Structure 1
Amino acid sequence: MSDTAVSVDADGAVIASFALYLLLLVGIAVYAAGSRSGSMTDFFLGGRAMKHFVVAMSAVTSGRSGWLVLGVTGLAFVDGAAAVWSVVGYTTVELFLFLFAAPRLRRFTGRMKDITLPDFFASRLGGGPGLRVLIVTVIVLFMTAYVSSQFAAGGKAFAGTFGVADTTGVWITAGVVLVYTLLGGYVAVALSDAVQAIFMIVGLVVLPVVVVASLGWGPMFDTLRALDPALLDPYAIGFGGIIAAVGIGLGSPGQPHIVVRYMSIDDPRSLRPAALWGTVWNVLMGWGAVFIGLSGRAVYGDVDALPGADSEQLFPFLANAYLPGIVAGLLIAAVFAAIMSSADSQLLVATSGVVRDIYQRLVKKDAADLNPRHLVTVSRMVVMVMCLLAVGLLYVPGMEDLVFWLVLFAWAGLGAAFGPPLLLALFWRGTTAAGAAAGIITGAVVTVVWYYTLSDVLYELVPGAIASTAAVVAVSAVTRKPEGADRMMSLLKGGSGEREDVHG
């Protein structure tokens, strides 16, 4: 999933409204700094006290990134109504996660005091430090590259919108994300994501309504039909194309920055209303993105009419053309909201792996109980180091190619590597640590190999997820089950662990 630059002419009204958006983020950071950030659970999970609306909005926005605001709108511009299948895929899968997988994960991790995804696997399956190191390595590798790409996208967006240098835009993007993440930890990240979700939904609903109203519903469809009848046919991409598009949703269970949202909610029972909010938001934003693409195609006719002949430039270009400056500025903020809502989440997840799973669990495992404030201080230091590392990657000659390569596989690779092991660990008592490790490695390898050999036949995430599932089942079948597997499954189902301290 890629993010690209925007390109519009910014006037004073656009700049003023965008400045208000940045001030709002800083205000959230100041507020969150006085809230829950005194322990590891506070800093990385908001004390497991987050309300369902915040969790729903944060999960949705951190999962979409600029791919929805820029990518899906551009895809709908090119492919027409068929772009809706990608929205159907992730909306359906994330509804399943909210309703069935997330409650089990929240109950178990609350009972076991788990803070990270590696924590969960270690508690549920055992496996010693090897499994923990494998998971952290994969997460940090992909997440750092992901954050780096988000900063690069933010830099290009600032350059195209406000006429500053790319490098200046990168540092502004990184600086804003760093400030509110350092000050408030998970609370600041989750609250800012929820606020940014509002910017995204406003942008993705208001803009298509305005454009369609100006064109007229019937005339817009007549124009599209005259350009290409296939633009109005959701089945025009064929069965294989539909499977590939829907298959995008298979990546959601394997994204640590999405999964950790479920672990932070105040009560497992609150995940049902969270499912409602998250699904409504996914549907509204997804359909809004598709209709921006369709209406934009009716307006401009061909991609050559867009800046750089780039269909992913459609959203900001259309906003600037159809809306007053002050409103356009707020809608352009939706682009940055999408970028930042992913960058902050990915940065915090990578940091939690380093501090919780490597520093606390492995490096300091023989030390007496570490002071919670010391761990939070270390976490803030690591956040800063990870942020600088992500920016620094953009300055290393040749490293940009590696970052691009890692991001290319970030969604599919993480989805295939972690999704099947996580779901099987949640629902199948026979899952073992060796099976999970085999699934993680197999999913990642098959995704990469398939991309370079058969990606024109089927999106690599689909075979990667299938191969990962097969590897977990096959290896688990011939390896020793973890001790206490029945008790673990009872905790997952809400047996003896149902009445745990939900803020633990």
Structure 2
Amino acid sequence: MSDTAVSIETDWAIVASFVLYLLLLVGIALYAAGARSSSMTDFFLGGRAMKHFVVAMSAVTSGRSGWLVLGVTGLAFVDGAAAVWSVVGYTTVELFLFLFAAPRLRRFTGRMKDITLPDFFASRLGGGQGLRVLVVVVIVLFMTAYVSSQFAAGGKAFAGTFGVADTTGVWITAGVVLAYTLLGGYVAVALSDAVQAVFMIVGLVVLPVVVVASLGWGPMFDTLRALDPALLDPYAIGVGGIIAAVGIGLGSPGQPHIIVRYMSIDDPRSLRPAALWGTVWNVLMGWGAVFIGLSGRAVYGGVDALPSADSEQLFPFLAGEYLPGVVAGLLVAAVFAAIMSSADSQLLVATSGVVRDIYQRILKRDAEDLDPRRLVMVSRVVVLALCLLAVGMLYIPGMEDLVFWLVLFAWAGLGAAFGPPLLMALFWRGTTAAGAAAGIVTGALVTIVWYYTLSDVLYELVPGAIASALAVWAVSALTRKPEGAERMMGLLKGDPSERAGVQG
């Protein structure tokens, strides 16, 4: 990990507004520490009592991370209006999840007292401990690397914004995330994500409005047309490119840190208003990111005008150029909000896999009446350990390459591995534990192999998800359905005879 500080002129207005943002997160942690954190359900799901607005905002921000604020803006800078297809993909898929998949998941997990994704698979499909261990191993491996990469991104953002060393920035990012996750568990994470969603939406709406207003709507499009007419053509990337961009949305059903949000809502019926809020926020933030890229291209002309000729530096650079220090500081906070809202969620999901599914369900399965407060204490210790592991990975020579490799496949790999088995378990009564295991392994392997062989033809998540779905179907058809499959489907659908206790 680099330990080189960037030499920049400090804007104390930016520093002050950013410090206020950090203090707000600490305040949320202190509030959440006195709220729901006394049991496993409290610590990992907020007691299944989260309101629809918080769930919607938390699901949206934890799913987007720095990829939206830095990645999509940079993609739109390079490819123009065609970047909108990636927004269309995940917005459509997540609307479907909110309206159709999430209610089934919430009803079932509430009735069965499931806390984690491995819990759901074990309750719905059976399969002994093998399936549970497989799911946990994949989650912990990818999520720890994902958290490590988020800390590294935070370190670089601190270095570029405040002139501190990358190492210092990593520890600050990790320290803030650790503080509110450790203190308040899921409540702190969800509430901070909701607050961070506001920062992100302000950043992604205010900045393009200001830049477009300064350029003029017509002159901006004239400039883009003069640079390259394809920048204004959403179909310029061709059918294959559109399928690949829309296909990004196929990853959403397989992201445990998004799925757990649906499990935490207070009432399955609240998922409909959550769908409205989540979709509006996805559309606003997505279109904002695209217009930041387009307006930035009109301002700078080409990538060489950006710091390090890196299109992903567009957002903070443009904010510093066009906005007063205090406002720019809030927009810088939006970058960190995107990073932290994913890191905290991924850290908590990885912890839940270790504590709930390995420690409680396997190592201590014969122990009777484990003290809930002891389990929460163990959870906090694991949060600390995984956080230190994520930071430590950045110090091991050569480990950064492994972290990069894992993160490269995190969205696509998790999406292909878990998405089809989860959806088929929710909607197809014939799904079996062996089928789900086959889908998880097949989806991950096809994603990796496709990336190294045919990624120029089609984004690896698309064939990975298709292969996973086929594997679930084929193996399930050849294996025996779990006992009580009809009753399980009744719980998922909310049949009147099975509704008692669904709110769980």
Band the TM-score falls in, shorter-chain normalisation: over 0.9
Letter in structure 1 aligned against 2:240: G
Q: Map Cα deviations across residues 348-403 of structure 1 (whole Å, 9 max, x no partner).
A: 00000000000000000001110100000000000000000000000111111110
Q: Map Cα deviations across residues 145-190 of structure 1 (whole Å, 9 max, x no partner).
A: 0000000000111111111111110000000000000000000000
- How many pairs align? 499
Q: Map Cα deviations across residues 417-438 of structure 1 (whole Å, 9 max, x no partner).
A: 0000000000000000000000
CA contact (8 A) 2:6 2:165 kept: no
Match of 1:19 in 2: 19
Match of 2:376 in 1: 376
CA distance in 2, matches of 1:166, 1:441: 36
Length-normalised TM-score, structure 1: 0.98
Matches within 5 A, 1:459-498: 459-495=459-495, 496-498=497-499
CA distance in 2, matches of 1:280, 1:222: 29
CA distance in 2, matches of 1:28, 1:266: 20
Q: 2:413 aligned with 1:413, yes or no?
A: yes
Match of 1:118 in 2: 118
Match of 1:215 in 2: 215
Match of 2:190 in 1: 190
Match of 2:144 in 1: 144
Matches within 5 A, 1:47-446: 47-446=47-446
CA distance in 1, matches of 2:444, 2:40: 30
Stretches of structure 1 that go unaligned for 5 or more consecutive residues are none
Letter in structure 2 aligned against 1:497: E
Secondary structure of the residue aligned to 2:234 is coil
Letter in structure 1 aligned against 2:451: Y
CA distance in 2, matches of 1:265, 1:48: 5
CA contact (8 A) 1:421 1:440 kept: yes
Letter in structure 1 aligned against 2:96: F
CA contact (8 A) 1:106 1:263 kept: yes
CA drift at 1:8: 7.3
Q: Map Cα deviations across residues 289-342 of structure 1 (whole Å, 9 max, x no partner).
A: 000000000000010000000000000000000000000000010000000000
CA distance in 1, matches of 2:266, 2:490: 20
Q: Map Cα deviations across residues 195-232 of structure 1 (whole Å, 9 max, x no partner).
A: 00000000000000000000000000000000000000
Q: Map Cα deviations across residues 404-462 of structure 1 (whole Å, 9 max, x no partner).
A: 10000000000000000000000000000000000000000000000000000000000
CA distance in 2, matches of 1:281, 1:7: 36
Letter in structure 1 aligned against 2:80: G
Secondary structure of the residue aligned to 1:115 is coil
CA drift at 1:500: 1.9
CA drift at 1:233: 0.2
CA contact (8 A) 1:143 1:347 kept: yes
Match of 2:451 in 1: 451
CA drift at 1:501: 5.0
CA drift at 1:88: 0.1
CA drift at 1:6: 11
Secondary structure of the residue aligned to 2:431 is coil
Match of 2:45 in 1: 45
CA contact (8 A) 1:296 1:318 kept: yes
Q: Per the alignment, do residues 216 and 413 of structure 1 end up closer, same or farther by CA in structure 2, a change over 3 Å counting? A: same
CA contact (8 A) 1:417 1:444 kept: yes
CA distance in 1, matches of 2:400, 2:391: 11
Secondary structure of the residue aligned to 2:498 is coil
CA distance in 2, matches of 1:10, 1:282: 33
CA distance in 1, matches of 2:10, 2:125: 54
CA drift at 1:9: 5.0
Stretches of structure 2 that go unaligned for 5 or more consecutive residues are none
CA distance in 2, matches of 1:453, 1:500: 49
CA distance in 2, matches of 1:265, 1:154: 29
CA distance in 1, matches of 2:378, 2:126: 26
Q: Map Cα deviations across residues 216-251 of structure 1 (whole Å, 9 max, x no partner).
A: 000000000000000000000000000000000000
Once the two structures are aligned, what percentage of the paired residues are identical?
A: 89
Q: Per the alignment, do residues 294 and 10 of structure 1 end up closer, same or farther by CA in structure 2, a change over 3 Å counting? A: farther
CA distance in 1, matches of 2:266, 2:138: 29
Q: Per the alignment, do residues 7 and 451 of structure 1 end up closer, same or farther by CA in structure 2, a change over 3 Å counting? A: farther
Length-normalised TM-score, structure 2: 0.98
Q: Per the alignment, do residues 133 and 90 of structure 1 end up closer, same or farther by CA in structure 2, a change over 3 Å counting? A: same
CA distance in 1, matches of 2:441, 2:338: 30
Q: Map Cα deviations across residues 94-150 of structure 1 (whole Å, 9 max, x no partner).
A: 000000000000000000000000000000000000000000000000000000000
Secondary structure of the residue aligned to 2:459 is coil
Moved over 3 A (4+): 5-10
Match of 1:30 in 2: 30
CA drift at 1:498: 2.6
CA distance in 2, matches of 1:38, 1:463: 43
CA contact (8 A) 2:6 2:163 kept: no
CA distance in 2, matches of 1:205, 1:62: 19
CA drift at 1:499: 3.6
Letter in structure 1 aligned against 2:489: M
CA contact (8 A) 1:6 1:156 kept: no
Secondary structure of the residue aligned to 1:180 is helix
Match of 1:500 in 2: 501
CA distance in 2, matches of 1:194, 1:422: 26
CA distance in 1, matches of 2:164, 2:502: 50
Letter in structure 1 aligned against 2:498: G
Secondary structure of the residue aligned to 2:395 is coil
CA distance in 2, matches of 1:151, 1:228: 36
Secondary structure of the residue aligned to 1:35 is coil
